[in-house]
Structure 1
Amino acid sequence: MHFDWWTLGLQTVNVLVLLWILSRFLFRPVAAMITARQAEAARLLDDAEAARTAAEAERAHAVEEAQKTVAARAALLQAAAAEADAARVAGLAAAKAEADRLRAAAAADMERAKREEAAGADARAASLAVDIAARVMRRLPDSARVTGFIEGLAEGIAALPASSRADLASGDAPVRLAAPRALDADETAACREALARVLGRPVEIAVDPDPDLIAGLELRAEHAVVRNSLKADLDRIAAALEAEAGGPETKDAAS
């Protein structure tokens, strides 16, 4: 069967473009939620300011009433003024403390909501990317889901430490591979040939079908794992998106 590398390349570019668009435009709901939180914080601050203004108005009224009795109760005026002043200081301090508390609570709510929304958006983006990639790969020839990844798997195994390659080559058990579907005879032979070339001796392989890979091959040995699949690529992209979205907040939390 002829394998068209141009088709695979174009489809891969399509996947990357779609992922870029998702990473750029799925976070607008986050901005809307942040704006709503900021408006709520502003409202709470306005309420606190109104409460402070009301407290000051009541203090002024108390002072005015005290001044009306200055002629008849001169001795009590000084005590009333001192009490009013104390009430003013206490009221202002309480209002400031309440405003600070409300401001801190609003800021904490905004940050928490932003983190939660970002995490949810990343999860939705990753899930959507997997679905899109799966649909794209289903449009390709069935062989393209395997044959185009054999050499990449061999290169990954060749990059393993020498001790890991020696363990793979010396074991009596077959080398276990995962593939999105069962391999045909030609694909199995190609995998054996590629592994024999990088391990320095013929080896037997056992293939475990794993549709979650979408496309590609993975080595799943006891002491070595090599991931050369579309699922692995999507996992790395999702992790990068999550790190990009939550990086600054993560650093702040760690500090």
Structure 2
Amino acid sequence: MLIDWWTLAIQTVNFLVVVWLLNRFLYKPVRRIIEEREAADVRAVSEAKKKADDAEAAKADYEQKAAELAKSQRGLEAELHATMRKERDTMLEDARQEADGILAEARERTERERMEALEGLKEGIADLAGEMARKALSGHASNGEAQLQQVLSHLDGLSDQSLSDLRSDLEDTAGALEIVSASELGEAERQRWQSALERRLGNGARIVFSVDPSLIEGSELHFPHAVLSFSVADRLRQLSREMKPAHDA
């Protein structure tokens, strides 16, 4: 078998030319197209992934905002309930205070009425005691000597200054010392009163006598600016004042 080397060489050259032509005009464009399509696929996948990530982010943001909205709504509801409870408690407290005020006012009015009734009762007791004393003493002559001794005992127990003030009261005003007794003093009794009082108040003291049955028993010495009382009526008034509660004094 003979080999035609020239033919083989020409065919080899033709083959190489064909290969170069194919690579130059077919394989490279096809490979470039394939690479471009692969790049396009990669970009599409990347964009799709980015859109999916954006969608997930939007979903997460939506869910977060929905949760925040629900939380805010629960907060508003809780605040509304707290406000309603506070208003209810305020209304209840106002009603309680108003009820306490009404109750306190009722108690005060009741206590005032009770004290007024008690005061009226005490005045009635004092009047009754005076009436009983007046009835008990009616028909009995007044003991002027005993009354005089009571007055003199009081005057003798005064300090020098107090006794001097009484004398000055009579001298400065040129007034009279009025002896008021519950019953009429006899002439002899008046003389004893006058003599005893002049020795203690001065011979220049002008003394007059009068009668006031409301004294019940005893007497009063009316100076121009002072009164010394030794009557049963005065003792009853003192007793009535002592019977008053401390807060009425």
TM > 0.5 fold call: yes
Q: CA deviation at 1:95?
A: 0.9
Residue 132 in structure 1 maps to residue 129 in structure 2? yes
Residue correspondence of structure 1 range 99-118 to structure 2 within 5 A? 99-118=96-115
1:188 maps to what in 2?
Answer: 190
Residue correspondence of structure 1 range 30-41 to structure 2 within 5 A? none
Residue correspondence of structure 1 range 81-230 to structure 2 within 5 A? 82-140=79-137, 141-144=139-142, 146-158=144-156, 159=158, 160-168=162-170, 173-201=175-203, 203-230=205-232
Q: Secondary structure at the match of 1:218?
A: strand
Between 174-183 and 164-173, report the one with greater CA deviation.
Answer: 164-173
What one-letter code is carried by the residue in structure 2 that aligns with 1:107? A
d(CA) in 1 for partners of 2:186, 2:218: 14
Q: How big is each residue's C-alpha offset from its partner over 1:65-122, in whole Å with a ceiling of 9 and x where there is no partner?
A: xxxxxxxxx9977655543432222111211122123213322432343244224413
What one-letter code is carried by the residue in structure 1 that aligns with 2:110? A
d(CA) in 2 for partners of 1:119, 1:157: 39
Task: Indicate conservation of the 8 Å contact 1:180/1:210, yes or no.
Answer: yes
Summarize the Cα distance change of 1:112–1:195 in structure 2 as closer, same or farther, 3 Å threshold. farther
Q: How big is each residue's C-alpha offset from its partner over 1:39-82, in whole Å with a ceiling of 9 and x where there is no partner?
A: xxxxxxxxxxxxxxxxxxxxxxxxxxxxxxxxxxx997765554
Q: CA deviation at 1:173?
A: 4.7
Task: Indicate conservation of the 8 Å contact 2:169/2:223, yes or no.
Answer: no
Summarize the Cα distance change of 1:75–1:89 in structure 2 as closer, same or farther, 3 Å threshold. same
Task: Indicate conservation of the 8 Å contact 2:177/2:224, yes or no.
Answer: no
Q: CA deviation at 1:230?
A: 0.8
d(CA) in 1 for partners of 2:134, 2:215: 11
Between 212-221 and 137-146, report the one with greater CA deviation.
Answer: 137-146
What is the TM-score when the length of structure 1 is the normalising length?
A: 0.56
Q: Report the aligned-residue RMSD.
A: 3.3
d(CA) in 2 for partners of 1:145, 1:84: 88
Q: How big is each residue's C-alpha offset from its partner over 1:151-197, in whole Å with a ceiling of 9 and x where there is no partner?
A: 22233344243122244368755421222233322332232233123
What one-letter code is carried by the residue in structure 2 that aligns with 1:102? A
- Bigger relative contact order (CA 8 A; separation at least 6): 1
Q: Secondary structure at the match of 2:128?
A: helix
Q: CA deviation at 1:229?
A: 0.6
Summarize the Cα distance change of 1:115–1:229 in structure 2 as closer, same or farther, 3 Å threshold. same
Task: Indicate conservation of the 8 Å contact 2:133/2:216, yes or no.
Answer: no
- Structure 2 segments unaligned to the other structure (5+ residues): 1-70
- Give aligned-pair identity as a percent: 18
What is the TM-score when the length of structure 2 is the normalising length?
A: 0.57
Residue 237 in structure 1 maps to residue 239 in structure 2? yes
Q: CA deviation at 1:135?
A: 2.1
Runs of 4+ with >6 A deviation: 74-78
Structure possessing the higher radius of gyration over alpha carbons: 2
